[in-house]
Amino acid sequence: MAVCAKEAARHLPGAEIACLRFILGAATVLGLAAARVLRLRAYNPWALLLRGTLGGSGVLLYFMAISHLPVGVATLLNNSSPLFVAVFSWLFLREPFSVRTLFALMLTSLGVVLVVLGNAPAAGGPALSLKWVLMGLGSAVFAGGAVTTMRAMRKREGAWESFLALCVIGGVITGVPTVFEHVWPTSRDWFWVALTGVFSVGSQVLLTYSLRDVPAVRAGLILQLTPILTFVLGALWLAEFPSWLGWLGSAVTIGGVSWGMLTRRSG
């Protein structure tokens, strides 16, 4: 999804890509509901509102970061969200985490830092301005809140209802800046936006289903695989080649994910 959004960002603003993504997502869910493939039912509208607000804000900042940073760096910043998931789930869900899990989070966080530092020389300086780095980190804060909310409400709310809330509320949030910086998409733009929407629907629904059974902290550890894959795709598809420090950070991050999964199995 991130690589497709990066391709679309060659011409379209990040906020507009996010808005179009939400519109396509909402249309998909409503179309399936109209065809009686899905039966939508909301049990806690306030939780859905919170999930949509946090998630929509996070996606807006994430897509704006993607349009100005190397795709791997933007995704890594966004996927530092497990740190915030750990804090939020402990504060609001009372989900304890062991010393081993804490160590795994620290290890994956160190990997993220190394990858960002490893990409800095290849980014050409201005691309890694503090403004857009903070946008990426801000998206992680909102994503952490959204994942924690999804974890809290998943026992009752369905995956499709959660995704529809994200798309509708996120569409409103991203629609405001889109109005002020709208660019007419070309046929090429629509191709990449459509792919962004397809990958978005699949990833969000699978994530929501998994959060019914996977604790929020460990789900965050698994999600650290996302920036690694994006990191590789960015090098292969977009020619955004990292330095040796970036590859070292990738290895450290994968090590943190592996440690987290071993911790789960042993527990």
Encode pLDDT of 8-53 as tens digits. 999 999 999 999 999 998 999 999 999 988 888 888 888 899 999 9
More confident residue, 190 or 118: 190
- Contact status, residue 115 vs residue 55, Cβ threshold 8 Å: no
CA 17 to chain centre: 14
- Residue 31 to residue 174: CA distance in whole angstroms: 22
Lowest mean pLDDT among 48-57, 153-162, 254-263: 254-263
Do 26 and 171 contact (CB within 8 A), yes or no? Answer: yes
Report pTM.
Answer: 0.81
What is the residue-averaged pLDDT of the chain? Answer: 83
The residue ranges of every structural domain in the chain are: 2-266
Assess contact for 227 and 63: CB atoms under 8 A: no
Q: Are 115 and 234 in contact (CB under 8 A)?
A: no
Give the model's pLDDT for residue 263: 59
Vertex 207 angle, CA 201 and 209, to 5°: 100
Distance CA 219, CA 132 (A): 26
* Confidence at residue 215, expressed as pLDDT on a 0 to 100 scale: 73
Report the pLDDT averaged over residues 216-240. Answer: 79
- 3-class DSSP string for 47-101: HHHHHHHHHHHHHHHHHHHHCCCCHHHHHHHHCCHHHHHHHHHHHHCCCCCCHHH
- At 48-105, the pLDDT tens digits run 999 999 999 999 999 999 998 888 888 888 877 877 877 888 888 887 767 777 787 7
